[in-house]
Chain A
């Protein structure tokens, strides 16, 4: 799997390259600024891009803008965005086109190599990887919500993990229950929140995220 990596801090870039290579990713390019990232995304056609939000030369949200632009050119291009801070505002922009293949994680998440690599794989397969902090913020705000109040605490746990983009199997493993139990919880959640049922994992996640993000 070919990865384009954009990170301006040498130490982090180097560490990420090593980690990705250790898990059998091929690094197509590792760049440290916005213009080079745009060129790499355009010319190298990677399977997935791992991008830092803040990049030179402007040190604004150049990385995010490059990623969004590349996804406009090539809808569904898998992009995993990393940042020192997570904002719902940015998550919203990344999810806005309704195509999967989007990830948005705190840089701290690279500490746990396996989870991080899992997120990269999920995104490159067209899935979603949202940082737990984003989901937490969304959930706190919807806490007084009527339909949300009807969820059992187990259902809320399942929903939190699902919104992060985990598959039923992964949720089952984390909560120490069977996959069938998780499937039952998810269909309950969809029923209570009045969301259209779907078999596609990723459509489901996007529906939940859209639900949480409204209002």
Chain B
């Protein structure tokens, strides 16, 4: 009895929703049709004329403006589809290099970049479809959802575009990975060479002198022994610091949660930690997260003027599993990714695992730095 009632109620709700959608479509559809028809026609005509005039020279001047306007128009339509259907339409354009030149050279550069981007041509191809099929589907309320789907399918990136973008991204992060590990090795080599290695040489020399002196001048020999011992202690301290920088011992001994707890305890300001992880992760991921948190905590302790820091680390199973760490402090804020080279390094290192680093730090604080890395929990 109650189930049939439920079904009836559900049916009524669905019917109501459908009616509501239809009435919305009756308003939105015609409005869209009336506004988009002239805009699409103008975008198409201007683009084609401007492109045709490139050999004549005039097009070289006008095309970048026209195409950027076309892109703006397509973007506006993407946002509209997002708002009306609730599902965002990703932009298909290739990212531009950061070091674009200005003046005439930059202008031509921009033109070439636009012309080489397949997304530009797809936008252009979409305009005639939009002013015909798009116009008709927008005008007839029952067909309005078809219009939204049509616009989405023509304006979102194709599989090839997504793949190309992924390849580009992987190429970049691989490049970064090679760079970082080479720099790391160079640093370790230098530290060993100038530190422990030099101290061991000094120790060996002291021992040689001691051997020669031990009978002739025991007092002097004793002094040298003390010196040698000091050198060996220094060498050990240096090696210990170096090891901590390569792979923190607690991480090796206990895994990520305890390594982070030990790290929190070593900070000069109080760190309140809340760490809850379901298990262990791939070693490189754990290591990257550890060093990211270490850098962020050190920054908070050094530069923020904070009295307290909160460290939250958790794991979410959504989206294939995501490891999250958030560091919040009650300091003066105004931190940014651009300011420190350390943070840039952290970002690059996380990039190798498709991880991201986000900073929110308004002037006056508080600062919150979030680290997110996709990761799978390892089976025990």
Binding site for B on A (CB under 8 A): 53-54, 59-61, 83-85, 87-90, 92, 107-108, 111, 137, 140-141, 143, 215
Contact = CB atoms under 8 A, between A and B. Distances in A.
Contact of B265 (A54, A61, A83, A88): A88
Contact of B240 (A61, A84, A88): A84
Contacts of B229: 111
A85 B233 contact: no
A84 B232 CA distance: 14
Nearest to B260: A89
Contacts of A87: 249-250, 262, 265-266
A111 B252 CA distance: 26
B252 A85 contact: no
Interface in B104-142: none
Contacts, number: 49
A215 B270 contact: yes
Contacts of A88: 262, 265-266
Contacts of B338: none
B277 interface: no
Nearest to B258: A89
A137 B244 CA distance: 16
19 contacts: A59-B252, A60-B252, A61-B254, A85-B240, A85-B244, A85-B249, A87-B262, A88-B262, A88-B266, A89-B258, A89-B262, A90-B262, A92-B265, A107-B236, A108-B237, A111-B232, A137-B265, A137-B266, A141-B268
A85 B49 CA distance: 72
Contacts of A53: 253
B253 A61 contact: yes
B37 interface: no
Contact of B270 (A84, A85, A111, A141): A141
B279 to A, nearest CB: 15
User: Which 8 pairs between the two chains have the least Cβ-Cβ distance?
Assistant: A88-B265, A89-B262, A61-B253, A87-B262, A60-B253, A85-B249, A108-B236, A140-B268
Given A108-B236, A111-B232, A141-B269, 20 more contacts: A60-B253, A61-B253, A61-B254, A83-B249, A84-B249, A85-B240, A85-B249, A87-B249, A87-B250, A87-B265, A88-B262, A89-B250, A89-B262, A89-B265, A108-B233, A111-B233, A140-B268, A141-B270, A143-B268, A215-B270
Contacts of A140: 268
